[in-house]
A and B are shown apart, each in its own frame.
Chain A
Amino acid sequence: MKAFARLYDALDETTSTSEKVAALAAYFRAAPPRDAAWAVHFLSGRRPKRLVGTGRLRAWAAEEAGVPEWLFEESYAAVGDLAETISLLLPENPASGDQPLSWWVEQRLLPLRGQDEAAQKLEMLQAWRELGRRERYVWTKLITGSFRVGASARLVVRALAEVSGVDEGTITHRLMGAWEPSPEFFEQLLAPDTRDADVGRPYPFYLAYQLEREPASLGEAGDWQAEWKWDGIRSQLVRRAGRTFLWSRGEELLSGRFPEVEEAAALLPDGTVLDGELLPWSGASPLPFAELQRRIGRKAVSRKILREVPVVLVAYDLLEEGAQDLRGRPLAERRERLARLLAGTSSGGRLVLSPAVEAAEWTGIVAARARAREMGAEGLMLKRRSSSYGVGRRRGDWWKWKVDPLSVDAVLMYAQPGSGRRAGLYTDYTFGVWDGDRLVPFAKAYSGLSDEEIRMVDAFVRRHTLEKFGPVRTVKPELVFELAFEGIQRSTRHKSGIAVRFPRIARWRVDKRAEEADTLEQVRSLLDAGPAAGAVPGPGTS
Chain B
Amino acid sequence: MDRAVVTHAHRDHVAWGCGAYLAAAPGVEVLRRRLDPAARIRGVPYGEAVDMGGVRVSLHPAGHILGSAQVRLEHEGEIWVVSGDYKTEPDPTCTPFEPVRCHTFITECTFGLPIYRWPAAGGVLADIHAWWRANQLAGKTTLLFGYALGKAQRLIAGLDPAVGPILTHGAVERMTAAYREAGVPLPATTHVAASDRATWKRAIVVAPPSTDGSAWARRFGAQATALASGWMAVRGARRRSAVDRGFVISDHVDWPHLLEAIAQTGAERVWATHGYTGVLERWLREHGMDALAIETRYEGERDDAAAEAEEAPPS
Contact = CB atoms under 8 A, between A and B. Distances in A.
Contacts of B117: 88, 92
Interface string B267-305: 000000000100100110010000000000001001111
Given A75-B115, A89-B114, A462-B299, A421 B279 contact: no
A246 to B, nearest CB: 37
A78 B115 CA distance: 9
B113 A81 contact: no
Nearest to B235: A84
Contact of B304 (A65, A419, A455): A455
B25 interface: no
Contacts of B245: 13
A451 B236 contact: no
Contact of B283 (A71, A85, A422, A423): A71
B234 interface: yes
Given A71-B283, A425-B304, A455-B304, A80 B114 contact: no
A325 interface: no
B260 interface: no
B114 A81 contact: no
Contact of B303 (A14, A419, A424, A459): A424
A397 B269 CA distance: 71
A88 B305 contact: no
B233 interface: yes
Contacts of A12: 235, 239
Interface residues of B, number: 23
A5 to B, nearest CB: 13
Contact of A74 (B113, B237, B239, B240): B113
B58 to A, nearest CB: 34
B244 interface: yes
Contact of A424 (B237, B244, B279, B282): B237
Contact of A422 (B240, B286, B305): B240
B240 A421 contact: yes
A424 B234 contact: yes
Nearest to B240: A421
Contacts, number: 68
Interface string B224-244: 000000000111110110001
A192 interface: no
A75 B235 contact: no
Contacts of B279: 71, 74
A65 B114 CA distance: 9
A420 B235 CA distance: 8
A420 B302 CA distance: 16
A79 B239 contact: no
Contact of B237 (A13, A70, A423, A459): A423
Nearest to B111: A78
Interface string A1-24: 000000000001110000000000
Contacts of B236: 79-81, 419-424
Contacts of A92: 117
Interface in A392-423: 419-423
B115 A79 contact: yes
B305 A455 contact: yes
A67 B286 CA distance: 12
B244 A79 contact: no
B140 to A, nearest CB: 11
A422 B115 CA distance: 17
Contacts of B235: 12, 79, 81, 84, 420, 423
Contacts of A420: 235-236, 239
Nearest to A425: B304
Given A84-B235, A462-B299, A75 B113 contact: yes
Contact of A68 (B233, B286, B304): B286
Nearest to B243: A13
A65 B117 CA distance: 12
A425 B239 CA distance: 13
Nearest to A455: B304
Contacts of B286: 68
A72 to B, nearest CB: 9
Contacts of A419: 236
Contacts of B276: 74
Which of A70, A75, A422 is most buried by chain B, counting CB atoms within 10 A of its CB? A75
Interface in A165-211: none
Interface in B154-174: none
Contacts of B282: 70-71
B111 to A, nearest CB: 10
A78 B234 contact: yes
B248 to A, nearest CB: 11
Nearest to A77: B113
12 contacts: A13-B244, A71-B279, A75-B113, A79-B115, A84-B234, A88-B114, A88-B117, A89-B115, A420-B235, A422-B240, A423-B235, A458-B304
Given A71-B113, A71-B114, 17 more contacts: A12-B235, A14-B244, A71-B283, A75-B114, A78-B115, A78-B234, A79-B236, A81-B236, A88-B114, A92-B117, A423-B234, A423-B236, A423-B237, A424-B303, A451-B240, A451-B304, A458-B304
Interface of B: 113-115, 117, 233-237, 239-240, 244-245, 276, 279, 282-283, 286, 299, 302-305
Interface of A: 12-14, 65, 67-68, 70-71, 74-75, 78-81, 84-85, 88-89, 92, 419-425, 451, 455, 458-459, 462
